[in-house]
Amino acid sequence: MADKKIDIKKKVKKEVDVRDLTICDATQQMLLKARKDGVETAFDRALDMKPCPIGSQSACCKNCSMGPCRLNAKDPYAKVGVCGATVDTIQSRNFARMVATGAAAHTDHGMAMLELFREVVRGNIADYKIQDTRKLEEVAQSIGIETVGRSVEDIATDLYEQLEATYTQIEGEIPFAKRVPPKTLETWRKYGLVPRGAMIEVMELLHRTHIGVDQHYDNITKQSSRCALSDGWGGSMVATEIGDILFGTPTPVAVDVNMGVLKEDEVNVIVHGHEPNMFESMVSSVNDPELIKAAQAAGAKGINLVGMCCSGAEMMSRHGVPHAGNFMSTEAVLATGAVDAMCVDIQCIKQGLATAAECYKTKFITTNRRAHIEGATHIEFDDHEPRACTDEIVIQAIGRFKNRSLPIEIPKITNPGIHGFSHEYINYMLGGTFRASYTPLNDNIINGRIRGVAGVVGCTNPRVKQDWVHVELVKELIKNDVLVLQTGCAQIALAKAGLYTPEAAHLAGPGLKEVCETVGMPPVLGIGSCVDNSRILIAASEMVKIGGLGDSIADLPAAGAAPEWMSEKAISIGQYFVASGVYTVFGVTFPTMEGTKFQKLLFDGLESTYGLGKWDFVADPYEMAQKMIAHIDKKRKALGIDKARERVLMDMDSRREMEAKYQAM
Ligand code: NFS
């Protein structure tokens, strides 16, 4: 069938049972089909490509041409690089470069949103407008802009001008530093961690990793923190806040997730990537009566728009657009044969998609000037004329639908759930219309019904069974009364496992279950894409501000995890969570060597010496949950609220005991 058949058996030495590769039923089904069709995916390539043992421990340096230098993976201090660089210098420089790249990705995305905002504010763009003026005012007030009695245009102009500093400011502190709890900010100031503009932080970090510049792992890591903070409290936060102002702040919405959202009798268009502007324009294209008519003329019942990965998660949260799957399902979904066009913008877009799309005759379209892919059609997206790009993509998709010649097999699986919990909505949901506040959340943490809060975020990775680590970890956490917040591909993993329904509260421990049932919320709250991790930072700051849970983010009974991470963005996110005071555990692998001073700094010193959070690495989901819970309990104890929880649990037990006695009577 497929034009570009690859003999998978020859290529992949070891054929592994698909059930060992993923717990996603739809992905399993499509992997089997892809194998039958002779189409390769990242799962096959991962089996064929053993990770380099030295590289995975970050024990090599190729920052100059005297090397590349490889250190001894067994004895990290047995050797140094040609320039004399120690293992700690090499590892911290490699780590810093990951932070810089990840932070650059998020901040460049945020910058693109801010540029769009500027053009809207200046009246240069007709297709987008400010949709959430309340959010505009709130964001403006949060950084000290006067809003009372002023026009939307004036406030927006000031906001644009001030937020530009998030990127360009060469001295002083970025605007959103004003949102950081005072004690956390004090710690940053003490150690020189408060970010200036992201451009200068990324530039300085990369400079310091050049041969012969910063050669003290501790000092390099300080700049890694500062750079990462310019992402979390800077670029990512701008991306989220401007996204809300322009496209609306998410509120809970019922959405279907999984490959069953594709429709055999409609033109299927998938948008996969990260920036919401192209996706927003696509929403208006697929609803254009002329284009719908054209689709019908081609024999389709309509046009079906579906998201994947992070822009999918963002559009799902904002507008209820159905979602077909996370990072490790993007090639597999093409094996359905039902995808008429997959259009992409930036980040996490596998180059392998071009070949898979060619095999299934799917139109594979790049749209962003920063991301071309060999073998893809490029239709450039321009904010000033967005529909020119997205209309053309729909026309191409209709053309593909008309000429569909390959068999279609869509896994009949959809998982309904409630998504779209912005921090504003969590505030409202727990506090009520007239007293929107985090007070009830804090109260429930203090009284012990909710043991603590965990962010479980990040990617999927073919080095571990797709979705499995996420699902097991989250189940374990909620069972132990930990409320889980999620973003990105992690959120999709749990949605497919059915945890985004209020009924999933029965999987929670007694205290969390009670809160979920009272409020009518699922035990796991999905808050959007990876840049929306900034919503977690804001929620954490609010919790500190409300009081009763300490003076800084580091005092909160909270933990973070990226159990199936793979991207450099994940490392930047991890570093800004750690620098903000959060205990953060990564799974899969961790780019350091056991027993090195650098690893000790990340896993201990950042907390014990600097009063920040700290990193940890655990591959096993149950052990990961235990460590996160132990950390939460440690914080509860330090706050003196550990006893309250014991009382609540005893109350629940004695209530049950009473009930049992009553029934036996
Ligand atoms: Ni996040 Fe989004 Fe997914 Fe990982 Fe990639 S899509 S920004 S990096 S893989 S969660």
- At residue 570 the predicted structure's pLDDT band, cuts being 50, 70 and 90, is very high
In sequence order, what are the residues at sequence separation of 6 or more whose Cβ sits closer than 8 angstroms to the Cβ of residue 466? 21, 22, 23, 24, 27, 326, 328, 329, 460, 493, 564
Six token digits for residue 238: 């701008």
How far from 250 is each of 74, 315, 378, 527, CA to CA, in Å?
A: 49, 9, 31, 8
What is the distance in A from the centroid of ligand 1 to the CA of 168? 26
pLDDT of residue 134: 94
Q: Could you tell me if 50 and 14 are in contact, meaning their C-beta atoms sit under 8 angstroms apart?
A: no
pLDDT of residue 665: 43
Q: Is the pLDDT of residue 181 over 80?
A: yes
Q: Is the pLDDT of residue 17 over 60?
A: yes
CA-nearest of 462, 611, 651, 631 to 560 is 631
Testing ligand 1's pocket by substitution, the residue of 98, 236, 310 carrying the most ligand atoms inside 8 A of its CB is: 310
pLDDT of residue 662: 47
Strand partners, 21: none
d(CA 417, CA 457): 18
Testing ligand 1's pocket by substitution, the residue of 99, 275, 459, 529 carrying the most ligand atoms inside 8 A of its CB is: 459
d(CA 42, CA 353): 9
d(CA 159, CA 166): 11
The full length of the chain comes to 665
Q: Is the pLDDT of residue 333 over 70?
A: yes
Testing ligand 1's pocket by substitution, the residue of 344, 496, 569, 572 carrying the most ligand atoms inside 8 A of its CB is: 569
Q: Could you tell me if 296 and 282 are in contact, meaning their C-beta atoms sit under 8 angstroms apart?
A: no
**Averaged pLDDT for residues 385-392:** 97
Ligand 1, atom 9, lies closest to the CA of 459
What is the distance in A from the centroid of ligand 1 to the CA of 529? 8
d(CA 103, CA 98): 8
Do the strands 558-562 and 452-456 form a parallel or antiparallel pair, or are they unpaired? Answer: parallel
- Three-state SS for 585? strand
Atom of ligand 1 nearest to the CA of 458: 10
- Three-state SS for 415? strand
Testing ligand 1's pocket by substitution, the residue of 470, 489, 572 carrying the most ligand atoms inside 8 A of its CB is: 489
What is the distance in A from the centroid of ligand 1 to the CA of 326? 8
Ligand 1, atom 5, lies closest to the CA of 348
Of 76-80, 353-357, 429-433, which gets the smallest average pLDDT?
429-433
pLDDT of residue 474: 98
Of 71-85, 216-230, 383-397, 644-658, which gets the smallest average pLDDT?
644-658
d(CA 587, CA 206): 26
Q: For residue 595, report the phi and psi dihedrals to the nearest 5 degrees.
A: 80, 5
CA atoms within 13 A on the CB side of 479: 9
**Burial (CB count <10 Å: 0-12, 13-18, 19+), residue 501:** middle
pLDDT of residue 564: 98
- At residue 9 the predicted structure's pLDDT band, cuts being 50, 70 and 90, is low
Atom of ligand 1 nearest to the CA of 460: 9
Six token digits for residue 34: 């892809």
Q: Could you tell me if 218 and 93 are in contact, meaning their C-beta atoms sit under 8 angstroms apart?
A: no
Q: Taken in order 428, 432, 435, 438, is the CA torsion positive or negative?
A: negative
What is the distance in A from the centroid of ligand 1 to the CA of 387? 26
What is the distance in A from the centroid of ligand 1 to the CA of 404? 31
Calculate what percentage of the chain has a pLDDT beyond 70. 94
What is the distance in A from the centroid of ligand 1 to the CA of 476? 23
What is the distance in A from the centroid of ligand 1 to the CA of 104? 14
pLDDT of residue 646: 74
pLDDT of residue 518: 87
d(CA 303, CA 340): 10
pLDDT, tens only, 200-228: 999 999 999 999 999 999 999 999 999 99
Q: Is the pLDDT of residue 540 over 50?
A: yes
Testing ligand 1's pocket by substitution, the residue of 344, 346, 347, 348 carrying the most ligand atoms inside 8 A of its CB is: 348
What is the distance in A from the centroid of ligand 1 to the CA of 51? 20
Ligand 1, atom 4, lies closest to the CA of 459
Atom of ligand 1 nearest to the CA of 573: 1
d(CA 532, CA 244): 10
Query: Other C-beta atoms within 10 Å of 488: how many?
Result: 35
Atom of ligand 1 nearest to the CA of 106: 7
Testing ligand 1's pocket by substitution, the residue of 327, 470, 529 carrying the most ligand atoms inside 8 A of its CB is: 327
Residue identified by tokens 């919503």 is 535
What is the distance in A from the centroid of ligand 1 to the CA of 624? 21
Six token digits for residue 61: 């340096």
Q: Is the pLDDT of residue 232 over 90?
A: yes
Q: Is the pLDDT of residue 2 over 50?
A: no
pLDDT, tens only, 592-611: 999 999 999 999 999 999 99
- At residue 449 the predicted structure's pLDDT band, cuts being 50, 70 and 90, is very high
Q: Is the pLDDT of residue 195 over 60?
A: yes
Atom of ligand 1 nearest to the CA of 531: 7
d(CA 427, CA 341): 39
Expressed in angstroms, the distance from the first to the final Cα of the chain is 70
Ligand 1, atom 2, lies closest to the CA of 310
Q: Is the pLDDT of residue 661 over 60?
A: no
Query: Other C-beta atoms within 10 Å of 28: how many?
Result: 19
Q: Could you tell me if 6 and 40 are in contact, meaning their C-beta atoms sit under 8 angstroms apart?
A: yes
Strand partners, 363: 341
pLDDT of residue 654: 55
Atom of ligand 1 nearest to the CA of 459: 4
- Three-state SS for 463? coil
pLDDT, tens only, 405-425: 999 999 999 999 999 888 788
pLDDT of residue 63: 96
**Averaged pLDDT for residues 118-140:** 95
Residue identified by tokens 């995808």 is 339
What is the distance in A from the centroid of ligand 1 to the CA of 460? 8
Ligand 1, atom 1, lies closest to the CA of 530
Query: Other C-beta atoms within 10 Å of 393: how many?
Result: 26
What is the distance in A from the centroid of ligand 1 to the CA of 580? 21
Burial readout 240-275 (b: 16 or more C-beta within 10 A, e: otherwise): bbbbbbbbbbbebbebbbbbbbbbeebbbbbbbbbb
Of 71-80, 265-274, 540-549, which gets the smallest average pLDDT?
71-80
Average pLDDT over all residues of the chain = 93
d(CA 24, CA 3): 27
Protein residues with CB under 6 Å of any ligand 1 atom: 274, 309-310, 327, 347-348, 458-459, 488-489, 530, 567, 569-570
What is the distance in A from the centroid of ligand 1 to the CA of 69? 31
Six token digits for residue 366: 């790049």
Strand partners, 323: 257, 307
CA-nearest of 108, 183, 87, 107 to 534 is 107
Q: Could you tell me if 326 and 460 are in contact, meaning their C-beta atoms sit under 8 angstroms apart?
A: yes
Q: Specify the DSSP element, H or E, that contains 305.
A: strand 303-308
Atom of ligand 1 nearest to the CA of 347: 5
Q: Could you tell me if 334 and 362 are in contact, meaning their C-beta atoms sit under 8 angstroms apart?
A: yes
What is the distance in A from the centroid of ligand 1 to the CA of 565? 8
What is the distance in A from the centroid of ligand 1 to the CA of 458? 6
- Name all domains of the chain by residue range, CATH numbers in brackets: 79-247 (1.20.1270.30), 259-402 (3.40.50.2030), 430-639 (3.40.50.2030)
How far from 65 is each of 57, 76, 88, 344, CA to CA, in Å?
A: 21, 22, 20, 36
Strand partners, 304: 268
pLDDT of residue 428: 78
Can you give the pTM of this predicted structure? 0.94
Calculate what percentage of the chain has a pLDDT beyond 90. 86
Strand partners, 24: none
What is the distance in A from the centroid of ligand 1 to the CA of 21? 19
d(CA 490, CA 525): 11
Q: Could you tell me if 369 and 380 are in contact, meaning their C-beta atoms sit under 8 angstroms apart?
A: yes
